[in-house]
Copies of this chain bind each other. A is one copy, B any other.
Amino acid sequence: MLRNKNQTKQKIITAVGGLLARDGFAKLGVNALAREAGVDKVLIYRYFDGLPGVLRSYAESTDFWPTPAEVITQDLGQPGDTGSAQIIGDIMVNLARALRNRPLTTEIMAWELVEQNELTNILFERREQWALNIIENYAFEHGQVPADLPALTALLNAAINYLIIRARTTPVFNLVEIDTERGWQRLENMIRELCSSYFSRP
């Protein structure tokens, strides 16, 4: 027993990530968390005032969501800019790849579909902010937003989220392998093709 409050708090917060990654949100409870952290559960109540408080702290301590730099690989409106369609397509493909490398975020995204809590609320806010930034950047750099950009990104983003969440437990969706690189290549190609044909429609 380390008589060190901060270190104990840290152990608890770290254990949240461990539990989520290993057993998923379904098994995340006060007892399990205390066991995982190797700490008495009373301390969860004392230091965090219960599980929601732990989640709040955990949310602040981690960055679930990809950074803008991770997703926006082109300088919009700059010399290298290869055009609207490719930019949006790139962003979506990058988002898909970034999320596929974040099993913890995936887990929380799944959670988000079942119940709302501190973690999922924060994830929600960040995503909305993220979407807003893309729209605003795009509008700013290109003068005007085409047709219904929010609807386009909402659809693609929703598809990506679903397939990534789904891939945790199922290898195939609608005849496409969602657990292999090959399958995701097909999906990425389709995302790009959809963007490019949408932006160059008559």
Residues of A at under 8 Å CB distance from B? 26, 110, 113-116, 124, 127-128, 131-132, 135, 147-148, 150-163, 165-166, 169-170, 172-176, 178, 186-187, 189-191, 193-194, 196-198, 200-202
Given contact pairs A150-B175, A158-B158, a sample of 8 additional A-B residue pairs in the complex whose CB atoms are under 8 Å apart: A131-B174, A150-B176, A151-B189, A154-B174, A154-B178, A155-B163, A194-B197, A197-B200
Query: Which chain B residues border A159 with CB–CB below 8 Å?
Result: 155-156, 158-159, 162
* Distance of A137 from chain B, by nearest CB (Å): 14
Contact B196 A201 (CB under 8 A): yes
User: Which of chain B's residues has its CB closest to A154's CB?
Assistant: B174
* Distance of A131 from chain B, by nearest CB (Å): 4
Query: Assembly of this chain: how many copies?
Result: 2
Query: Which chain B residues border A26 with CB–CB below 8 Å?
Result: 114-115
**9 cross-chain pairs, A with B, having the tightest CB-CB distances, nearest first:** A197-B201, A154-B174, A162-B162, A159-B159, A158-B162, A151-B190, A150-B175, A158-B159, A154-B176
